[in-house]
Amino acid sequence: MNDKLIVIVGSAGKLGRLVLASLLKQPNLKVRALVRDLTKPEVAVLVGPRVELKVFDIAKATAAERTAAVSGAFAVVSTVQGGPDIIIDGQLALLRAAKAAGARRFLPSDYSYDLFGLPEGVNMNTDWRRALATAAAPEASSTFEVVHLMQGIFTDKAVLGFLGVFDAEKGVARYWGDGKTPIDWTTWEDTARFIAAAATDERAVPERLQVAGDRMDLLTVAKTWEHKHGRKVSLERLGSLEDLEALTKRKLHEEPHNMYAWLPLMYARGVFGGQAVLGEKHNARYPGIVAETVAQAIDRGAL
Ligand SMILES: NC(=O)c1ccc[n+]([C@@H]2O[C@H](COP(=O)([O-])OP(=O)(O)OC[C@H]3O[C@@H](n4cnc5c(N)ncnc54)[C@H](OP(=O)(O)O)[C@@H]3O)[C@@H](O)[C@H]2O)c1
């Protein structure tokens, strides 16, 4: 039997590298790692006997380059990051090329809270991913699946730092609303494991594949952190959800070109608004993955 070929676009990124490592734990499998720049230091860790490196730019690729990028693929996994040219146009074109090449499925770069639960206009990044999902849906068939893997927020201090809600060094947790909104959590590594499992699955995979390591509100995360580290976490309420919405709009108006001024606030609206909590989880499909809880991630120093 031929080895299964999985193509990853965005392989040199943080999640892409973890997906590649997770895939290579499976036997009888090869990876085609698509990268933009072979000289990028992160590319060095991708090199291996079962890895084919290929230069590919999802925003600039010609039809022939897309066909070559996905030829022979069992599945195409995207872990790209970028604007609508990449998330909507680039991914859609590559997804269509994957379908034409006879691939079994395509996983777009979603990996978030329930992007279908969040209303339009709350988070621009989520809007683009939903727009891709809408454009991609007609491409799905009994032989070609589009799988939106959603796992909540990465249990990781850098991600929480970006959101501006937890600063482990200073021992401060910041929240909007009452801080009691349930939040789904999964580590980077477990997300990569679920992506690898879904990509290589011989069975039909649900279109909206929802998994998570834990569910916990931010105040409880802070308490869990305090308990594990034996250090007090001070709590800062930043305002109501209405205040958050108003601040997001003001920042977007004042600094439209500085995404760091408003993108974390958009994610905070998704996190604290409660509309993007995941529905029924599919963890049980992959019993080999025992996803880390928040407490375990804190123990390991991830948070
Ligand atoms: N739920 C959460 O808490 C959470 C947190 C963080 C990220 N995420 C999601 O996880 C996914 C991956 O994020 P990440 O942090 O791993 O991103 P990242 O490290 O920035 O990696 C993104 C990758 O996309 C590649 N890329 C960008 N433009 C491209 C193009 N035109 N053609 C080909 N490749 C291109 C980059 O290539 P180069 O290597 O050449 O730059 C990079 O390898 C995203 O969907 C992100 O939204 C979720």
User: Which ligand 1 atom sits nearest the alpha carbon of residue 61?
Assistant: 32
The letter for the amino acid at 283 is N
Dump pLDDT digits (tens) for 210-253. Answer: 999 999 999 999 999 999 999 999 999 999 999 999 999 999 99
- pLDDT, the chain, mean: 97
In a domain, 159, yes or no: no
> Do residues 108 and 76 lie in contact, with contact meaning Cβ atoms separated by under 8 Å?
no
Dump pLDDT digits (tens) for 268-279. Answer: 999 999 999 999
In a domain, 224, yes or no: no
Mean pLDDT, residues 182-193 taken together: 98
In a domain, 248, yes or no: no
Q: How far is the CA of 91 from the centre of ligand 1 (A)?
A: 12
The pLDDT assigned to 173 comes to 97
Q: For residue 2, is pLDDT > 90?
A: no
Q: How far is the CA of 19 from the centre of ligand 1 (A)?
A: 12
In a domain, 203, yes or no: yes
d(CA 245, CA 269): 7
The pLDDT assigned to 39 comes to 96
Alpha helices in 7-109, H assignment, sequence order: 14-23, 63-70, 84, 91-100
What dihedral do alpha carbons 111, 181, 169, 151 form, nearest 10°? -20
The pLDDT assigned to 1 comes to 62
Q: How far is the CA of 202 from the centre of ligand 1 (A)?
A: 26
Strands (E), the chain: 4-9, 29-35, 51-55, 75-78, 105-107, 145-146, 148-150, 153-154, 166-167, 172-176, 184-186, 208-210, 214-215, 234-239
Dump pLDDT digits (tens) for 61-80. Answer: 999 999 999 999 999 999 99
Pocket flag, ligand 1, residue 59 (CB < 6 Å): yes
Mean pLDDT, residues 168-190 taken together: 96
* Residue 47: domain span: 4-151+186-212
The one-character DSSP state at 240 is: -
Q: Whose CA is nearest to atom 36 of ligand 1?
A: 10
Q: How far is the CA of 237 from the centre of ligand 1 (A)?
A: 31
- SS3 for 1-28, per residue? CCCEEEEEECCCCHHHHHHHHHHCCCCC
| CATH, residue 114 | 3.40.50.720
* Helix, coil or strand: residue 123: coil
Pocket flag, ligand 1, residue 79 (CB < 6 Å): yes
> Do residues 186 and 290 lie in contact, with contact meaning Cβ atoms separated by under 8 Å?
no
The structure tokens listed for 67 are 């066909």
> Do residues 231 and 171 lie in contact, with contact meaning Cβ atoms separated by under 8 Å?
yes
Pocket flag, ligand 1, residue 15 (CB < 6 Å): yes
Question: What percentage of the chain has pLDDT greater than the value 70?
Answer: 100
The structure tokens listed for 74 are 């069992």
Dump pLDDT digits (tens) for 5-53. Answer: 999 999 999 999 999 999 999 999 999 999 999 999 999 999 999 999 9
Pocket flag, ligand 1, residue 13 (CB < 6 Å): yes
Distances (CA, A) of 141 to 40, 84, 147, 162, 198: 37, 25, 12, 38, 17
In a domain, 169, yes or no: no
The pLDDT assigned to 168 comes to 86
Number of independent structural domains in the chain = 1
What dihedral do alpha carbons 50, 59, 19, 133 form, nearest 10°? -130
Question: What percentage of the chain has pLDDT greater than the value 90?
Answer: 99
For a pocket test of ligand 1, which of 39, 45, 81 has the largest count of ligand atoms closer than 8 A to its C-beta? 81
Q: Whose CA is nearest to atom 37 of ligand 1?
A: 10
In a domain, 128, yes or no: yes
In a domain, 279, yes or no: no
d(CA 108, CA 123): 17
In a domain, 244, yes or no: no
d(CA 202, CA 181): 36
Dump pLDDT digits (tens) for 279-292. Answer: 999 999 999 999 99
